[in-house]
Copies of this chain bind each other. A is one copy, B any other.
């Protein structure tokens, strides 16, 4: 079973690093990516936090943007510190649930992430998400309708509950079988584990 589960959230800056490189990195190891979009907000709230720890803890928050600049340079990724953080990612996450098993998933996720972290634009916006889907030559309206159906809304809530039940406390998080790896820094280790 050469598979890696990839739990991520579009508002999370460290998820940006992994989303941009996981598909190519996994392909090089002949590992299949199982995309698991979820929402961090409910998990943070269950810890008693109103928002990201990068906002709540000033020193850590200040550091994170320096670190992101360096990490993006290291991985050859464009980077612009978002003027709003963390950005709401509800609609993009709902669409990602529809796309999770589709061949367009990787490209869709990279485009949404680039909007947030390379172009400093809002992502929880039907028109913007439709634009992304159109650029991928997909039936935008049909996908948006499906994404906003009650069944799919429930599915995203359930996916977020599943994340919490698995012990996920941040993003990105990777699973190889039952083994958990937290943080973009652990992606390569997780892929090695999935390949062996």
Looking at chain A, what size class is its interface with the partner chain? 20 to 34
**Does the CB pair B169–A57 fall under 8 Å?**
yes
A179 partner residues in chain B, CB cutoff 8 A: 66
Contact residue among B63, B169, B185 (Cβ-Cβ distance under 8 Å from A185): B185
**Does the CB pair A63–B182 fall under 8 Å?**
yes
A59 at the interface (CB under 8 A from B): yes
Q: In the complex, which residues 60-80 of chain A have their Cβ closer than 8 Å to any Cβ of chain B?
A: 60, 62-63, 66-67, 70, 74
A30 at the interface (CB under 8 A from B): no
**Does the CB pair A67–B182 fall under 8 Å?**
yes
**Does the CB pair B180–A63 fall under 8 Å?**
yes
**Does the CB pair A63–B167 fall under 8 Å?**
yes
A169 partner residues in chain B, CB cutoff 8 A: 57, 59-60, 63
A142 at the interface (CB under 8 A from B): no
Given contacts A66-B179, A179-B66, contact A167 B59 (CB under 8 A): yes
